[in-house]
């Protein structure tokens, strides 16, 4: 399914969000610039980066098959604020058997193996697994889905799932699977796109093929959705982290074109929600 990349509307939305957040106590010059920019983008036919391009919605299998070719080359503020949290948790855990669920190109697989964990990476995309084998060759890999993990019951000490559950319409099946494969007393680390970000921004675009834009749909899961899924799976929440926007804008994108407004719009907004969980002994 294709749609138009409505970059002017996105630019106006960012300008409006910055204006909304600063309207009460913002600097007058900043507020005036936002109003002037909105007027300019509404009234002019100014060419904006990517304007008029087509955008395809892909399912997770097709999307990540395409995305795998460039995934590791793209700077990401989401990954930059997420990784220190995951690494700090892993540094506190004794090495043992580990699962990287929806491992993608092996980012967390490498973090686990480098800390001495005997790691299995699972992903539904063979193309992503090929990249993971290059990035973390000491791990084992299996094709599989979050909702039906190809591991035995109580077979790992630690399970990590990074930035993947947002693509699922509901959480219960995947959370229950993680709880199933982790031993009593073991730990689960789940990170995901923060519901604030998905509610405000929606989808993350990438270049599909030579020039086509595409996305794999993100679904909004509120903290209460996670907590209810954890309770139904019998998991104990040990900690929740919500790291904030770090100031990085996607290079070459429309937000860089309106950087002052974009940074003001996202300042103080959490990008990621990260959960540290345990399986009762």
Q: What percent of the chain has pLDDT over 90?
A: 67
**What gap in Å lies between CA 280 and CA 237, rounded to an integer?**
10
H or E element: which one contains 27? none
**What gap in Å lies between CA 138 and CA 74, rounded to an integer?**
24
Q: Is residue 198 part of a domain?
A: yes
Whether residue 250 is predicted with pLDDT greater than 70 in this model: the reply is yes
Identify whether the C-beta of residue 213 lies closer than 8 Å to the C-beta of residue 207. Answer: yes
pLDDT for position 69: 67
Give me the mean pLDDT over the 139-157 stretch: 97
Q: Is residue 31 part of a domain?
A: no
Among residues 279, 9, 31, which one has the least CA distance to residue 155? 279
Q: Is residue 24 part of a domain?
A: no
CATH of the domain at 246: 3.40.50.150
Count of the separate structural domains present in the chain? 1
Q: Is residue 35 part of a domain?
A: no
Q: What percent of the chain has pLDDT over 70?
A: 85
Strands (E), the chain: 2-4, 54-58, 97-101, 118-123, 140-143, 156-162, 182-193, 206-208, 212-216, 236-241, 272-278
Which range, 26-40, 41-55, 62-76, is most confident? 26-40
As a whole number, the mean pLDDT across the chain is 89
What confidence tens digit (pLDDT) does each residue in 177-206 have? 999 999 999 999 999 999 999 998 877 766
The confidence band for 7, taking pLDDT boundaries of 50, 70 and 90, is confident
pLDDT for position 40: 87
Whether residue 50 is predicted with pLDDT greater than 60 in this model: the reply is no
Whether residue 253 is predicted with pLDDT greater than 60 in this model: the reply is yes
pLDDT for position 8: 82
Q: Which residue has the higher pLDDT, 203 or 281?
A: 281
Neighbours of 46 (CB within 10 A): 11
Among residues 76, 150, 151, which one has the least CA distance to residue 107? 76
Q: Write out the residue range of the structural domain in which residue 96 sits.
A: 58-260+270-278
Q: Is residue 47 part of a domain?
A: no
The confidence band for 256, taking pLDDT boundaries of 50, 70 and 90, is confident
- The first and second tokens of residue 68, run together, are 């795998």
- pTM of model > 0.85: yes
Whether residue 214 is predicted with pLDDT greater than 90 in this model: the reply is no
């Amino acid at each position: 399914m294709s749609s138009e990349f409505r970059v002017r509307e996105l630019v106006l939305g960012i300008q409006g969000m910055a204006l909304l957040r600063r309207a009460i106590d913002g600097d007058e010059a900043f507020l005036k610039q936002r109003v002037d920019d909105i007027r300019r983008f509404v009234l002019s036919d100014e060419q904006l980066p990517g304007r008029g391009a087509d955008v395809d919605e892909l399912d997770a299998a097709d999307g990540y098959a395409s995305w795998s070719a460039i995934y590791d080359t793209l700077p990401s503020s989401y990954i930059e604020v997420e990784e220190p949290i995951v690494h700090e948790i892993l540094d506190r855990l004794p090495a043992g058997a580990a699962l990287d669920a929806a491992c993608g190109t092996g980012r967390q697989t490498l973090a686990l193996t480098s800390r001495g964990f005997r790691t299995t990476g699972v992903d539904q995309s063979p193309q992503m697994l090929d990249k993971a084998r290059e990035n973390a060759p000491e791990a084992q890999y299996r094709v599989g889905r979050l909702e039906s993990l190809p591991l035995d019951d109580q077979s790992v000490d630690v399970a990590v799932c990074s930035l993947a559950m947002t693509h699922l319409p509901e959480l219960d099946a995947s959370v229950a699977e993680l709880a199933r494969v982790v031993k009593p007393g073991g730990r689960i680390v789940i990170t995901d796109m923060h519901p604030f970000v998905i509610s405000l921004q929606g989808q993350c675009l990438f270049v599909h093929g030579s020039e086509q834009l595409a996305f794999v749909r993100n679904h909004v899961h509120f903290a209460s959705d996670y907590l209810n899924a954890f309770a139904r799976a019998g998991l104990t929440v040990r900690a929740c982290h919500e790291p904030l926007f770090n100031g990085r804008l996607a290079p070459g994108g429309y937000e860089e074109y309106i950087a002052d407004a974009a940074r003001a719009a996202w300042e103080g907004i959490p990008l990621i929600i990260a959960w540290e969980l345990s399986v009762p002994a």
